[in-house]
Structure 1
Amino acid sequence: MDSGAELRDNSPRDGGNRRAPRLDRVLILESAIALIDEEGLGHLTMRRLGSWLGVEAMALYRYVSGRDDLLAGVVDHLVDQLYEQNLMEPDGAGGSWQGYLQRLAHGVRRVAIEHPEVFPLMASSPPQAPWLCPPLRSLNWMESFLDTMLRFGFDDRQAVQAYRSFATFLLGHLLLEVATKGVELSPITTTEPGQHESSDLADYPNVHRLQSHLAADRAADEFEESLEALLDRLEAMRRTRPRP
């Protein structure tokens, strides 16, 4: 049985009397994921999570500074699992950037299918960089993506364009997919706007160096480019249809 299921089976609302667990940050993050999976993101509060774990909410603050830190930690924990499965690492010798993007896309989709209530967090504005277009909460993911594209010979402009195109496709498609499962895609409240805009990005050198490119609003142009690419692909498909 996974840790989330164990926590759910013994949660106070089920009438279970149990000893308070030995807390650590990983347990808290996994418990938050389990709570969101079962009750939805809107029900995640420090008090509710404390009750879920059988401890006072104040006991959680030793490991997470508040709800916003908790939400960021949940996404980082899921992204870390992608790393553990080698889905975020570039292919070895003889590999390709296409293979990297395919593995990453399928790994992220698996997260969306397994945790549909949690997935919208991945597409929300990150506390450290609310200027990213499109937004992505995990800067670890962002840095890894840019670094991989650059290693495969993309220049700065192309790497940013690859991120924007890939993230728009992947997150947009998967958000629509989880919405069909009844997940509400309402805005997620985190910190006050602008609070983290000048945060130190020293741990993310590519994100920091390419900040002006990543922040540029090219939504209209990218919409037209994506639409034209789709029309070209449909025309190619039409031309290859079997002849009667």
Structure 2
Amino acid sequence: MVQQRLDRAQIVEAAIAFVDGCGLDELTMRRLGTALEVEAMALYRHISGRADLLEAMVDELIDGLFDDELMTEDSRSWEEYLQRVANATRKLAVAHPRIFPLIATQPPQAPWLRPPLRSIRWVEDFLSSLQAFGFSDTEAVGAYKAFTSFLVGALLLQASSMTPEALGEEDGASSQTDLSEYPTVERLQDLLMEDHAQREFDDALDDLIERIRTSTEK
């Protein structure tokens, strides 16, 4: 196998692409090495093992949110800031549905880091941004906890439902379920299949913002 020069960033980027295409369960150092056309041992010069690789993938994607076009402009209000962060995170979940569950469930480096905004850089940006708009320490921390819980709840199910496995695309055809014994579900199947994910996400975000606004006005 031809050896090539690699660095940690290239390996992490390749791992993200691998999981996007093949799924998290398929990721091993050997298979990733094959995808990069190097021996698996070459990866260990930069990555200590699979656990280190998974953590690096999560860090890369989460810190990459700062480069999203929604985050490169200053927000004029705390409500706009939350909307920008929420929609940038939703874009990440939609772009990487096979990895987002990892982002939501991978143990953080500190117990007070909450997925998906699970880096110290994100906690600093979130808390300082809200405090710049007049939030107290308690209000900013409370908003961080409520906001991250909202993101995980709203996006984890959505991302999981978008994977090729969930969509039945792995074998090139959608699976059909016999609903003859469930007449109500069968009758309402078309309504159940309607996709209003963006509207539902926006409505839930508006509700959260209103709850935060009410709590800060007391």
RMSD of aligned residue pairs (Cα, Å) = 3.0
Name 2:31's counterpart in structure 1: 48
> Alpha-carbon deviations, 1:63-116, whole Å to 9, x = none?
222222211211221123221235446726xx1111111111111111111110
CA distance in 1, matches of 2:157, 2:113: 21
1:140 and 2:121 are equivalent in the alignment: yes
Name 2:109's counterpart in structure 1: 128
Code of the aligned partner of 2:58: V
The alignment partner of 1:62 has SS state of coil
Code of the aligned partner of 2:61: L
- Indicate the structure with greater helix content: 2
What is the CA-CA distance between 1:30 and the residue it aligns to?
A: 0.9
CA distance in 2, matches of 1:137, 1:183: 26
Any conservation in 2 of the 1:88–1:104 contact (CA below 8 Å)? yes
Name 1:27's counterpart in structure 2: 10
What is the CA-CA distance between 1:184 and the residue it aligns to?
A: 8.1
> Alpha-carbon deviations, 1:187-222, whole Å to 9, x = none?
xxxxxxxxxxxxxxxxxxxxxxxxxxxxxxxxxxxx
How many correspondences in the alignment? 171
Name 2:19's counterpart in structure 1: 36
Task: Output the TM-score relative to the length of structure 1.
Answer: 0.61
The alignment partner of 1:153 has SS state of coil
Name 2:46's counterpart in structure 1: 63
CA distance in 2, matches of 1:29, 1:134: 20
State how 1:221-232 maps to structure 2 within 5 Å: none
Name 2:137's counterpart in structure 1: 156
Any conservation in 2 of the 1:49–1:57 contact (CA below 8 Å)? yes
What is the CA-CA distance between 1:140 and the residue it aligns to?
A: 2.5
Any conservation in 1 of the 2:65–2:88 contact (CA below 8 Å)? yes
Name 2:93's counterpart in structure 1: 112
Identity of matched residues, %: 53
CA distance in 2, matches of 1:183, 1:87: 27
- Residues 104, 68 of structure 1: CA spacing in aligned structure 2 closer, same or farther, 3 A cutoff? same
The alignment partner of 1:91 has SS state of coil
- Residues 154, 126 of structure 1: CA spacing in aligned structure 2 closer, same or farther, 3 A cutoff? farther
CA distance in 1, matches of 2:72, 2:90: 17
CA distance in 1, matches of 2:135, 2:155: 26
1:74 and 2:46 are equivalent in the alignment: no
Task: Output the TM-score relative to the length of structure 2.
Answer: 0.67
